[in-house]
Amino acid sequence: MQPQCVFDWSVDAVEVIQKHREFGRVGSVPEGESFLELWIRCNLKELVNYQNSYSLKRKCGIVANLGSGELPNTFSGAVVKSNVRSERRFLYSNAGDAASRSLADFTVDLIFVTTLGASAWQMGLLNTLGSLAFLVATIPIGYLVDRYRPLRLLRIGLAVKVALTVCLFLLTVTGTLSIGYGFLLVTILGMCNVVGETAQVSAVPQLNAVSGAQRSSSISALIARLTAADQSLAIIVPVAAGTAFTLLGASALLTVSAVLALIALSLACLVKLPRQDGQRREEDTGQNAEHDTHWRSGLTYLRHNRILIAVTLAMMCSNFGLALGSAVEALFIINYLGFGAFGFGILAGLGGAGGLLGAALATRIAVRFSTTQLTTVTMMIKLALATMVFLAAFTTPAISMTLLAVQSVFWGVALIIFNVAVTAWVADITPEYLLGRVSSARRLFTFGAVPIGSLAGGAIGSAFGLPAALALWPLSIAVGLIGYLIVRPSKVQLEVAQVRRR
């Protein structure tokens, strides 16, 4: 056996780091911070590196053969393992919720078409009601999330979704589901979706126990995983559900959706927030007491923060342009270019593959590059890709198909990375007690641009031709990019702008 020695956990961290720096393990830390506090503030990867480098520490005369079992219980059990478990449960809960939501939306659409015989305008109204909460209820929902804690609202929203899915299942089985009941249930489900998405984004910084320069990259990584799960399941679930609907029927799919929602709720109930240090807790308490009574605080903070205005303007114009193009894209590919349903299906499949590729790459890219770089570059890429769709109207069929294929694949990649970068940036620069309201205030503009863009695209395409509507797609993105570069402060000094090196 190797000799054991006692380590004083209250020793000044600066002295420890000075000895440690000779071996290239860590940099400087704030004076007066204990070694235990330093460990708690480090991210999990650095903790593992610490734990695996005890042989070097022994050479420093600091500690000999200290194993994980000899660490203080408050550190090894409550800090690292508990936080990792909570993040993992949070990710699994988000995945279950995303799968349940995609499956329920897909099944309801099929029920309305095949069983209830809904008309075109009724299907349009169904889609509008599903997203109505993003316009009508997003501000009050953001206030409630900040007021009563994100995890609490997330659990309530998931519980209501379970109940609504069960009601939808019972109405379908008994044959009493009508279009009116469907409209009502979809509207309430849409509100629950807003609650869930707002609460999930607001909970990310609270779940993150990392401090300092590593905090922004850690938040970006977690948000990237959430977005990757949402995007992947939104593509995979409808493909699998289409076959399952034919073989098993709507009742079986709704049962699976309810079970997935219940699993998401159960996992969300097991998530626990890490303990914050005393100083941070006091600051948050004082800020909450001062600001929680103001439901307009999110709009006020958004209005006075140039970075938030810049990224919101960029995303709003990007969504507006995408809605313009999406409104006429199917007609453009099938009828105008003459590729038919088969060609449209091929391009849709390529778009799905691009979305999966973007979801797979987003996590790695988000932690290796700054959000300022990602926001600018992805906006430029989207501008070039949207221009390809417009140019496809004036070239030969072979070139048109090539342009559309390239656009379909890389649009999903750029869009997901852009969304991850902007969401992580907003979470990093927004106080945690305001994050729910700020996110809701941003959605009022970013999601509100979608129905307006869809209506404008359809109207312009009908009046002036499909190429005219498609020309506004890159123009809208260009306006967003220029506005972002003008409004954004010239020197953005944020921790989020630092590049994480592995």
pLDDT in tens, 134-165: 778 788 888 888 788 888 999 999 999 999 99
Helix-helix angle 214-248:250-270, to 10 degrees = 160
- Kindly state whether residue 150 falls inside one of the protein's structural domains: yes
Q: What pLDDT is stored for residue 289 in this prediction? A: 42
Say whether both 304 and 242 belong to one domain. no
Tell me the per-residue pLDDT of 235-282, one tens digit each, with 9 for 90 and over. 777 767 777 887 888 899 999 999 999 999 999 999 887 755 444 444
Q: Give me 387's structure tokens.
A: 């221009």
Say whether both 129 and 247 belong to one domain. yes
CA dist., res. 427 & res. 220, Å (int): 9
- Domain-ending residue, one of 76, 101, 121: 76
Read off the pLDDT of each residue in 212-240 and give the average, rounded to a whole number: 71
Read off the pLDDT of each residue in 108-126 and give the average, rounded to a whole number: 78
Q: Report the number of distinct structural domains present in the chain.
A: 3
Could you tell me where the DSSP H helices lie in 111-149?
A: 120-131, 133-136, 138-148
Say whether both 502 and 372 belong to one domain. yes
Domain ranges, residue 389:
294-502
Q: What pLDDT is stored for residue 275 in this prediction? A: 57
Residue 495 confidence class, pLDDT cut points 50, 70, 90: very low
Read off the pLDDT of each residue in 411-421 and give the average, rounded to a whole number: 86
Read off the pLDDT of each residue in 425-446 and give the average, rounded to a whole number: 82
Which residues face 12 on adjacent strands? Answer: 34
CA dist., res. 249 & res. 118, Å (int): 18
Check residue 14 and give left, alpha or beta (phi > 0: left; psi -120 to 50: alpha).
Answer: alpha
- Kindly state whether residue 2 falls inside one of the protein's structural domains: no
First to last CA, the chain: 35
Say whether both 227 and 327 belong to one domain. no
The DSSP symbol for 432 reads G
Read off the pLDDT of each residue in 182-204 and give the average, rounded to a whole number: 88
Radius of gyration, alpha carbons of the chain: 25
CATH number of the domain within which 395 lies: 1.20.1250.20
